[in-house]
Amino acid sequence: MKPLSGKVALVAGATRGAGRGIAIELGAAGATVYVTGRTSRIQRSEYNRPETIEETAELVNNAGGHGVAVQVDHLDPDQVQALIARIENEQGRLDILVNDIWGGENLIQWNEPLWEQSLEQGFRMLRLAIDTHIITSHFALPLLIQNKNGLVIEMTDGTAEYNDKNYRLSLFYDLAKSSVIRMAKSLAHELSPHHCTAVALTPGWMRSEIMLDHFGVKEENWQDATEKEPHFIISESPRYVGRAIAALAGDPEVAKWNAHSVSSGELAKVYGFYDIDGSQPDCWRYLVEVQEAGKPANVSGYR
């Protein structure tokens, strides 16, 4: 029996990147996984990329789970409410909620002071990163708390420890990613009386479809990108953070992580899972001890 057989998950923001990797791994563990996003085979989001929610659902099926694709704009409360009503009608339960909605890569104003940034872009980023998560939790949590051991994952970039010590690119990006970490802590407080758990989770330097395109490589030859950026050697596939969530979801003592901010590399050491290449990249420790320390790229001891 697969560890998540009979469990129902919602991966909000599963069109590509971490969301797709998470959905696949939850499916591989036997879960029924609702995968949502704005890009379907009949309509693309502002990203204008080819990945679709239907493809993600098919990958979930191929991994051994049951994938259900639902086109949803998580800024629209009516659409989110309808999604949760559908899950309740079709499954009668929700065990795992992954808030992975983002959509802000094209809005990042790299290393520019606030007074030189576009307020329109900045506030759009905050809405995509924060409002979407709040709206989704508002409607999903009443269903999730009906059963004990429900799990909420707030996906972000950076751990609380790292983000507290480091400025993250721009005011809007910094605020977006740190706010999600705080959101997990707030939800942890509210979910605890219902014996449910909320965790903030970050991948490391992730080889998303967008990142691979940036370096002009594919997953199969990703190491060629290290010729342009040697420190890319610490990167990880989207499946790695997916395995982190599958491990948390399958842990009967997951409550010990309530309100914590953790990384894929940290959880790999605890639960003993590996990335698809058989390694255990520990990106956030590497960033501090190697890359930001000005040392040459060397992953010995870090994957």
Q: Report DSSP state, residue 111.
A: T
The pLDDT score that the predictor gives to residue 284 is 97
pLDDT over 90 at 198, yes or no = yes
The answer on pLDDT for 281 being more than 90 is yes
Domains of the chain plus CATH, in order, are: 8-291 (3.40.50.720)
* Pairing, β 66-71 against β 96-99: unpaired
Q: What is the pLDDT of residues 122-158, one digit of tens each?
A: 999 999 999 999 999 999 999 999 999 999 999 999 9
Instruction: Please tell me the pTM assigned to this model.
Output: 0.96
Q: What's the start-to-end Cα distance of the chain, in Å?
A: 30
141 Cα distance to chain centroid: 18
Assess whether pLDDT exceeds 90 at residue 9.
yes
Given a cut of 90, is residue 169 above it in pLDDT? no
Q: Express as a percent the part of the chain with pLDDT over 70.
A: 100
